[in-house]
Structure 1
């Protein structure tokens, strides 16, 4: 099946997403759009010259009108987070950029599924949902998909097991108030504590997991990478491309994307990540998995933190 994906923003994240997609079979056409015409032309030339080793794919540097008939539009535009800067501190600057982009791209691709990647992603997803005029099923933020990937990476290393055997998620804000609902975390059909006991009983020495340290690993990974190399873009690109694949699949899947809350867990009028059902028609809704009272309170704390930022920005 042919599919067209447009990417707004040719910075480190946007161009890496385009490159990653060029090595997969998700899209048959990729359009990369950026205000910096020379930069986007260079990125496309560099990417397309490596596609001789795969089946033909159409990649072009374009304008907004070239997004027409896109199946998916990925928005990565915005100022990158600097070392020591929180995602929330980016809010108003990137909101202003999004307010400029939104009517231009929605005019050209009103039927596309939109994936918001720009940080702070939950705020940006909320703003786009509010100002785009699109049905909510067409809009998702990348949310805690990356956080969940980091969690599974950390758990795979701790338990010395392939990540595909791990079902654990990060909920809430893509940021400092995120949390891990450990009551929903399983490895090979056993919860984390059960799995540790089971492995020790068969002679595979597994140390007790420090759950607080694992959450810190998840939350601090982005900042550490930025401090070390200046930006994060490989893992987020892989996460977004995986999300695109789910949105273009024949069947529905679950993922921790950011979307508008409508009373789930007692939370309303804010975008954050819980387990959601997504598929070829976009967002199908939240999957109301049971959480402990403590976990619900953590989710509400995350929602309140985001609402406090929304109250301070100009929509």
Structure 2
């Protein structure tokens, strides 16, 4: 069973992908019960006739008992300029949700979608005491998808012509696109861009969400698909290599901070955190990103 906490755009989009593909039973939980019920009534009609799975809706956290995976998409409000705008309220929320998940399904794997992603992943893991390999923040894969899309638009090629586009670090203003790994139709990306173009693309990746919000409000499909890919890997016992947020204990010369790094995911959660070679500029930017996250964590702890 997959439980999804938050029946808004993102939560309901993830639920749609789960039920329409026949991945597993879904429980949709929202503090406003009627919202969850309304979404579930609609989503129930997307379940294939050949599927044995169902969807339920509630505001009762006890219904998550027995969940293999819990996905947290809940939010206390809308941010407009930075994902950290509602920091203290979001941390309080994640602590409350964490206590309920620990009470009702202490062996589950948890996907954190809510923002600020890195800080909430950190506090959820620390407050619950869950294995760091079972608390997965889903955002860097989305940022990597956006990076790949921008590269494809820049060179008028399909996204399949872009290889190894990956973004690490904070899911916010200090995220680090790893240009040194990317190739476009087999050509190293760094040989195709000037420094000015690289800096401009970095800014475009970091502010992609602002452009999206200008035209449609909050995003939903990209993050839903990236979350679903992880859910599918876990439920089907596949191995997925993807950047994701995890609490680090020495990897990338970082301790006691959660941020996006390359990982492998299987039916048990994160099976491996692996390090890739970065150039000196990328290493410096990633170190700065970890410091920014650490400062946010410290601001709450103090």
TM-score normalized by the length of structure 2: 0.92
CA distance in 1, matches of 2:82, 2:56: 33
Per the alignment, residue 28 of structure 2 pairs with 32
Cα displacement (A) at 1:193: 4.3
Per the alignment, residue 297 of structure 1 pairs with 284
CA contact (8 A) 2:13 2:224 kept: yes
Per the alignment, residue 121 of structure 1 pairs with 117
CA contact (8 A) 1:82 1:230 kept: no
Deviation string 1:9-61 (CA, Å, 9 cap, x unpaired) is 11221122112222224x22011011101111111111112335663430000
Per the alignment, residue 88 of structure 2 pairs with 92
CA contact (8 A) 1:143 1:272 kept: no
Per the alignment, residue 285 of structure 1 pairs with 272
Cα displacement (A) at 1:189: 4.7
Aligned counterparts, 1:251-270, within 5 A? 251-270=238-257
CA distance in 2, matches of 1:99, 1:288: 30
| Residue 246 of structure 1, aligned match among 233, 238, 246 | 233
Unaligned 5+ runs, structure 1: 197-205
- Superposed CA RMSD: 2.2
Per the alignment, residue 172 of structure 1 pairs with 169
Deviates further, 119-128 or 185-194: 185-194
- Alignment length (residue pairs): 300
Cα displacement (A) at 1:157: 2.3
Cα displacement (A) at 1:314: 4.3
Find the residue that maps to 1:226 and give its secondary structure: helix
Cα displacement (A) at 1:135: 1.3
Find the residue that maps to 1:257 and give its secondary structure: strand
Cα displacement (A) at 1:162: 3.3
Cα displacement (A) at 1:151: 0.8
Does residue 1:44 correspond to 2:31, yes or no? no
Per the alignment, residue 147 of structure 2 pairs with 151
Per the alignment, residue 203 of structure 2 pairs with 216
Question: Post-superposition, which runs of at least 4 consecutive aligned residues in structure 1 deviate over 4 A?
Answer: 206-209
CA distance in 2, matches of 1:124, 1:175: 13
Does residue 1:81 correspond to 2:78, yes or no? yes
| Residue 184 of structure 1, aligned match among 181, 186, 190 | 181
| Residue 19 of structure 2, aligned match among 15, 22, 25 | 22
CA contact (8 A) 1:73 1:115 kept: yes
CA distance in 1, matches of 2:164, 2:277: 15
CA distance in 2, matches of 1:149, 1:249: 23
Deviates further, 12-21 or 117-126: 12-21
CA distance in 2, matches of 1:188, 1:286: 28
Cα displacement (A) at 1:158: 2.5
CA distance in 2, matches of 1:286, 1:98: 24
CA distance in 1, matches of 2:20, 2:196: 36
Find the residue that maps to 1:251 and give its secondary structure: coil
